[in-house]
Structure 1
Amino acid sequence: MTEQLTSENGRTVLRMERALRHPAEKVWRALTEPSELAAWFPAAVELDLQLSGRITFAFEGEEDSDSGVIRAYDPPRLLEFTWGEEIQRWELIPTADGCLLTLTATYDDRPGSASFTAGWTLCLDALNEALGGSPVPRAHYALLHEYFVRTYGLDAGEVLTDGSLRFERQLTAPKEQVWPALHGLVAEGIEAGPARTAVEPTELSFEWQHGVVTWRLRDGNGGARLVLTQSGPAAQYLAPWREVIEELAAGLAAQTSAG
């Protein structure tokens, strides 16, 4: 795979490449014509194909739509637009047997990068198939997501300046499914004390011998976004908490992919 995750000016940059056995002009139509976008793009798109033209994105079953502006337009080579706060840049370079497609996405939600990459991987597979290419066998989205979490190191926690600990982890199951699994989860070396909060399905906290452990859940991209914090001395608990969270994530991904 060609996926690369970097940072630029404080923002996250995801770059993906695909060598396609189709001429650039044919792929350009699939990138810009709503009737062709419908075969592979994750949202319904309406766009005014000119520099500074408006572009809108609507998801099935949702009343509200997102919007953006075309920032660069050079057919059949370059299309760049905003999608909310995200910037997407689609580039085509002719090759001897087709063209090279490059997607560069710039955004702020680094913990969501595995979800974005897994989703775009499946979309680009669908694009290739819609153009007449062969289907690409892939793992289920949830398992593909977990692969990119490990590839990008998104399973790592951090020790904050005050000495406390924090993990932020995108999961592949909704928070209502994650919530019951949080009860009783304790890292090695942590002695769980009295509960502090239990607000289903968004917050669960308890005291431990040197502070407070708090689980928080909210809606994320493709599932719940989990944030774990632990006050008090924390550095020695990074590895134990990572093990707990990754075991939880793996179990949820297995359930999701089997469902």
Structure 2
Amino acid sequence: MNETLTTENGRTVLRMERALRHQPEKVWRALTEPKELDGWFPAAVELDLRLDGPISFTFPDEEANEGADNAGVIRAYEPPRLLEYNWGSEILRWELVPTADGCLLKLTAIHDDRPGSASFTAGWIRCLDALDRVLGGSSIPREHYALLHEHFVKAYGLDQGIVDDDGSIHFERQLTAPKEQVWQALTDPAFVAEGIESGQLLKSEEPVELTYEWQQGTVTWHLRDGNGGARLKLTQTGPAQQYLKPWHDLIESLAADLATTTAAAG
């Protein structure tokens, strides 16, 4: 595998490559025929296989379909070499390059959710492993999704916080456990960065928001459902730049513990 993450024209671009010991025509069928897609793609696919043809996606979990934009259009169609379509606002581009012993599969995924990029990468790795098995290959077993996710968080630098001009700091971090589990950690009195004295509790809405005072401002945690687990957001107002590393270390310790627990359970 070869994975890169860049920002182009204001959007996040994930590129992945997989060498396959299968001819392009065989892989093309797996990319375009619904019965073949059922064996490896993350959603059921219905499509009118032509340029500008409609395409739609349905997840097995009905709740995952609620409020989701699961429709698209085929934007490029050059069998058996190129297929590109949008899935809601995301663009997926599949390219097949013939090689001496099969083909090179190239996936380009363009999206706007940069903090979710590690989840997307880990998920597509699992899907491409399944694709290889469907085609008759023997993919090497991978690490658990949660551990793959944490690897790519580090590889892409998605664990870093930012400092605003006014001195406030922010973190946005995809996690691998549900928000109810994360909430338990956030509400532990010991879960606070070194040097921070937690003060008056201003808001506690389980399991989505926790706000309390600190010496020179407020600390606010937000949780929502993300891809593969909870999406965590931290905002600390006030002159808080010196707390960037302490919060980073605390959040990463939590993320590692959650990933290890998730992997052990799964």
TM-score, with structure 2 as normaliser = 0.96
Give, in angstroms, the shift of residue 202 of structure 1.
0.2
**CA distance in structure 2 between the partners assigned to 1:255 and 1:69 by the alignment:** 39
Q: Does 1:78 align with 2:82?
A: yes
Corresponding residue for residue 100 of structure 1: 104
Structure 2 unaligned residues grouped into runs of 5+: none
**CA distance in structure 2 between the partners assigned to 1:236 and 1:162 by the alignment:** 13
Corresponding residue for residue 223 of structure 1: 229
Select 1:192's aligned residue among 188, 198, 219. Answer: 198
**CA distance in structure 2 between the partners assigned to 1:239 and 1:82 by the alignment:** 38
Corresponding residue for residue 31 of structure 1: 31
Give, in angstroms, the shift of residue 162 of structure 1.
2.0
Give, in angstroms, the shift of residue 14 of structure 1.
0.1
**CA distance in structure 2 between the partners assigned to 1:31 and 1:135 by the alignment:** 18
Select 1:68's aligned residue among 63, 66, 72. Answer: 72
Give, in angstroms, the shift of residue 77 of structure 1.
0.2
Q: What amino acid sits opposite 1:253 in the alignment?
A: A
Percent identity, aligned pairs only, is 71
Q: Does 1:181 align with 2:185?
A: yes
Q: Does 1:141 align with 2:120?
A: no
**CA distance in structure 2 between the partners assigned to 1:132 and 1:169 by the alignment:** 37
Corresponding residue for residue 3 of structure 2: 3
Give, in angstroms, the shift of residue 135 of structure 1.
3.0
Q: What amino acid sits opposite 2:222 in the alignment?
A: R
Corresponding residue for residue 154 of structure 2: 150
Corresponding residue for residue 59 of structure 1: 59
Corresponding residue for residue 21 of structure 2: 21
RMSD: 0.9
Q: What amino acid sits opposite 2:13 in the alignment?
A: V
**CA distance in structure 2 between the partners assigned to 1:23 and 1:57 by the alignment:** 26
SS of residue in 2 equivalent to 1:138: coil
Select 1:131's aligned residue among 132, 135, 138. Answer: 135
SS of residue in 2 equivalent to 1:239: helix
TM-score, with structure 1 as normaliser = 0.98
Structure 1 unaligned residues grouped into runs of 5+: none
Once the two structures are overlaid, the 10-residue window that deviates more, 41-50 or 175-184, is 175-184
How many residues get paired? 259
